[in-house]
Structure 1
Amino acid sequence: MHELVAAPYRDLHLVLRPGSPKAVQLTADKFAELAAAAATGQHIPVWLVEAARQQWDIDLSAKPADTAVLVRAPGPYAFSRATYEINLGCDFDCEMCYLGEKKFESLDLAGKRQLLHVMRDAGVIWLQITGGEPLIDPDFPATYRLAYELGMQVELLTNGSRLRNARIMELLLQCPPSKMSVSVYGASAATYDAITRRRGAFDRFTEGLRLAVDAGLNLDLSLIVVERNAHEADAMRAWAERLGVPHREYAQISPTIKGTAEPLPSQSPEHLTNRQPFTGCPAGHTFFHADPFGRASICKVGRDPNIDLLAEGVDGLARLGTIADSLMLRTGGCTGCALSGSCRVCRPMAKVFQEAKAPLRLYCQHGDR
């Protein structure tokens, strides 16, 4: 198994270590030298041995380049990041979930493998695997390991309920994610189980979180603050600080991906803040989203039009930039809006709120008046 990944990134050349957010930047000449060493089975260049020792405290001095370093070929486009929604199922049933009905659907393992190869060939370096809940997918171990073996820096978004599974934890220790973002829904069993609508969920979550912290995995906690757990917001923050794990708070709840409003009443009004003005997004240009059926869209929100990556392969992504530009055009009630220059949400998100007939105050400046 490779210890480092060397990859072209825009006009740069990077060396990355799976499981670490750190990187080493190379000149084009050094990248070519490293690629030649890997192609011919030579030892790793001395300058990279020293850089790896300084950056990651590892010794690669006696290792041949072809086994220790995976050299990635450049993709034909500018895509370097992607998200993969491996399934639509979840072992929780949170009232604020943007998926709405969580019916388990996904490609079979052969389809998942084909999709990952398309992503690799497109030049994807950073891949976020999400769901639904990715860790409940029976194909997750094989899918995750393949993404790792293809040289992608894999981030996981999970509710943490399956981290107590010995097979899952062994996999993550062998192939550490570059980051694992774990959602937190409360600081007590009563609150957590009520939000997830699953008895015993809090106990399973806390056990898995403890194992992940003890294992030294690169964690990031997402504190989900809603009406039902707002009274425990301080306790969730204190918990994250005691663990010494970085954390972020999310209180802005969105409609479902189908444009229905069921999640919105769960919001905690006192925790809602004005969204920052939308100033642009790389969705569809350097980033794309793949749903459980291998359909590529500009992001999780702007899902249509989309491209069937299993049918069209890498070539289909050539159309995504045009799709992105078309989805950012103002339509409907937003056409000619005098406040659009400081709009707080992108056009696809505004469309979802409009379809849900959500109050303007949740996404539009006109709701402030």
Structure 2
Amino acid sequence: MHELIAAPFQEHHLLVRPGSGKAVRLPFHHYSALIGHQLDDVQDTRARAEVPTWLANTARRTWAVDLAGKALNDAVLVRLPSPFRYARASYELNLGCNYDCEHCYLGLKQFAGLEWPDRERLLQTIQASGVLWLQLTGGEPMIDKLFPETYRMAHDLGMLVEILTNGSRLATPKHLALLTRRRPHRITLSLYGATAESYDALTRRKGAYRMFLTGLTAAREAGLPLDLALIITRHNAHEADQMRAFAGHYGLPYREYTHMSPTIYGGAETLASQAPDHLADREPFQGCNAGHTFFHVNPHGMASICKVGRDNAIPLLTEGVEGLARLGGVADSLMLRTGGCSGCLLSGTCRVCRPLAKVYQEAKAPLNRYCQHATTRS
């Protein structure tokens, strides 16, 4: 099992280590030499090149890993260049969840997903697109029956895997053993409250807070890389400071999420969970890489520009990696100002992208939920 990954990354080449946030930029001649050694070993199984001195020194200096004298192909997985040059992707294993949160943008939580042969082809397609960072999400990805196989293959294909999870299954022995042996890039745990009362009320699952703490404790004891997503709604807004203190107590980095979105089906039922006094100001939208260097895949293998802009999705199982050649054009078309945003003279300072504004408009959400110019426009 590889210790390091050498891979193209946009205009550069990187050396990275699963479970570490550190990365080293490789000169092209070093990357090319690693590919050459890999091809030689494939053609002649007796070759078995050793880790070169420069690489052993880099690994020791950056990650305190001793690779001296080890076989190169055992220690380093070398990713070949891809003509598509995608860097990141997210993959929804399923839309099912063992919680029933009022604010969840997925709406109907159906446990539909791909069986293993198709899922295996999908992961190979994602890897062939050049993706180095892969986010596994859901629903709750760790309740998926094929989560272990999916995670293992993504890791073994040379992708740095982040898991978005509620933590309820994180202490499961088979999951913990897998993640300890094949370390994730990051595990992001959603925090839905600072007390069992508010946490269980928001998730509408008795015992959810206890399961979260059990998973968090087990993962910390295993030394896994963790951070928190603080979900602040009307149910737990009174505990916002306590949630921040919770993160500080455990020494975990965190991000706050206060803007509730309509469901992916255009439903407005999630908006009632908004805590208006806790809405954070967003920076003006200056464009993003959705569809160009990043893409999202739903449980049925349909690739879209992101989790929000799901229109004109591409069936990867049918079209293969070549289908992604159309995704940049799809992204550009979805970013055009249409509908209620057509002709807006203030769009240059708008704080949401067009796909997000569209789902708010389809849900008939109040203008002030997504447009900071609501008063001016009215």
TM-score of the alignment, normalized to the shorter chain, above 0.5: yes
Corresponding residue number in structure 2 for 1:188? 195
Corresponding residue number in structure 1 for 2:224? 217
Alpha-carbon shift at residue 55 of structure 1 (Å) = 0.7
Please give the alpha-carbon distance, in whole angstroms, between the structure 1 residues aligned to 2:250 and 2:328.
42
Please give the alpha-carbon distance, in whole angstroms, between the structure 1 residues aligned to 2:92 and 2:159.
16
1:360 matched to 2:367? The reply is yes
For 2:265, what is the secondary structure of its paired residue? Answer: coil
Of the candidates 211, 219, 222, which is equivalent to residue 204 of structure 1?
A: 211
Is the 8 Å Cα contact of residues 35 and 80 (structure 2) preserved in structure 1? no
1:268 matched to 2:272? The reply is no
Corresponding residue number in structure 1 for 2:27? 27
Give the alignment of 1:229-308 within 5 angstroms.
229-308=236-315
Alpha-carbon shift at residue 38 of structure 1 (Å) = 3.0
Alpha-carbon shift at residue 37 of structure 1 (Å) = 2.5
Please give the alpha-carbon distance, in whole angstroms, between the structure 1 residues aligned to 2:328 and 2:291.
5
| Partner AA of 1:20 in structure 2 | S
Of the candidates 118, 122, 125, which is equivalent to residue 125 of structure 2?
A: 118
| Partner AA of 1:249 in structure 2 | E
1:327 matched to 2:305? The reply is no
Please give the alpha-carbon distance, in whole angstroms, between the structure 1 residues aligned to 2:253 and 2:355.
30
1:106 matched to 2:113? The reply is yes
Give the alignment of 1:61-140 within 5 angstroms.
61-140=68-147
Is the 8 Å Cα contact of residues 304 and 313 (structure 2) preserved in structure 1? yes
1:148 matched to 2:155? The reply is yes
Please give the alpha-carbon distance, in whole angstroms, between the structure 2 residues aligned to 1:208 and 1:284.
34
Please give the alpha-carbon distance, in whole angstroms, between the structure 2 residues aligned to 1:8 and 1:196.
40
For 2:373, what is the secondary structure of its paired residue? Answer: helix
Alpha-carbon shift at residue 18 of structure 1 (Å) = 0.9
Is the 8 Å Cα contact of residues 191 and 229 (structure 2) preserved in structure 1? yes
Deviation string, structure 1 residues 5-59 (Cα, Å, up to 9, x no partner)? 1101122111111111111111111111122233332111101101100111110
Please give the alpha-carbon distance, in whole angstroms, between the structure 2 residues aligned to 1:341 and 1:318.
28
For 1:183, what is the secondary structure of its paired residue? Answer: strand
Corresponding residue number in structure 2 for 1:338? 345
Alpha-carbon shift at residue 100 of structure 1 (Å) = 0.7
Please give the alpha-carbon distance, in whole angstroms, between the structure 2 residues aligned to 1:20 and 1:187.
28
Is the 8 Å Cα contact of residues 225 and 268 (structure 1) preserved in structure 2? yes
Alpha-carbon shift at residue 92 of structure 1 (Å) = 0.4
Please give the alpha-carbon distance, in whole angstroms, between the structure 2 residues aligned to 1:173 and 1:33.
31
Could you tell me the TM-score, scaled by structure 1's length? 0.98
* Bigger shift: residues 38-47 or 167-176: 38-47
Corresponding residue number in structure 1 for 2:45? none
Please give the alpha-carbon distance, in whole angstroms, between the structure 1 residues aligned to 2:225 and 2:12.
25
Could you tell me the TM-score, scaled by structure 2's length? 0.96
For 2:111, what is the secondary structure of its paired residue? Answer: coil
Alpha-carbon shift at residue 109 of structure 1 (Å) = 1.3
Structure 2: which 5+ runs fail to align?
42-47
* Bigger shift: residues 29-38 or 4-13: 29-38
| Partner AA of 2:34 in structure 1 | L
Is the 8 Å Cα contact of residues 181 and 220 (structure 1) preserved in structure 2? yes
Deviation string, structure 1 residues 234-265 (Cα, Å, up to 9, x no partner)? 11111110101111111111111111111111
Deviation string, structure 1 residues 181-228 (Cα, Å, up to 9, x no partner)? 110001111111111111111111101101111211111100101111
Deviation string, structure 1 residues 98-142 (Cα, Å, up to 9, x no partner)? 001111111111111110000111111110010000000010000
For 1:263, what is the secondary structure of its paired residue? Answer: helix
Is the 8 Å Cα contact of residues 240 and 247 (structure 1) preserved in structure 2? yes
Structure 1: which 5+ runs fail to align?
none
| Partner AA of 2:58 in structure 1 | A
Alpha-carbon shift at residue 365 of structure 1 (Å) = 2.8
* Bigger shift: residues 61-70 or 144-153: 61-70
Identity %: 57
For 1:365, what is the secondary structure of its paired residue? Answer: coil
Alpha-carbon shift at residue 159 of structure 1 (Å) = 0.6
1:169 matched to 2:172? The reply is no
Where do 4+ consecutive residues of structure 1 move more than 6 Å? none
RMSD between aligned residues:
0.9
For 1:118, what is the secondary structure of its paired residue? Answer: helix
Corresponding residue number in structure 1 for 2:36? 36
Please give the alpha-carbon distance, in whole angstroms, between the structure 2 residues aligned to 1:269 and 1:297.
30
Is the 8 Å Cα contact of residues 83 and 290 (structure 1) preserved in structure 2? yes
For 2:38, what is the secondary structure of its paired residue? Answer: helix
Please give the alpha-carbon distance, in whole angstroms, between the structure 2 residues aligned to 1:368 and 1:201.
40
Deviation string, structure 1 residues 287-345 (Cα, Å, up to 9, x no partner)? 10000000000001110101000000011000001100000111112111100111111
Please give the alpha-carbon distance, in whole angstroms, between the structure 2 residues aligned to 1:221 and 1:328.
30
For 1:223, what is the secondary structure of its paired residue? Answer: strand
Aligned residues: 369
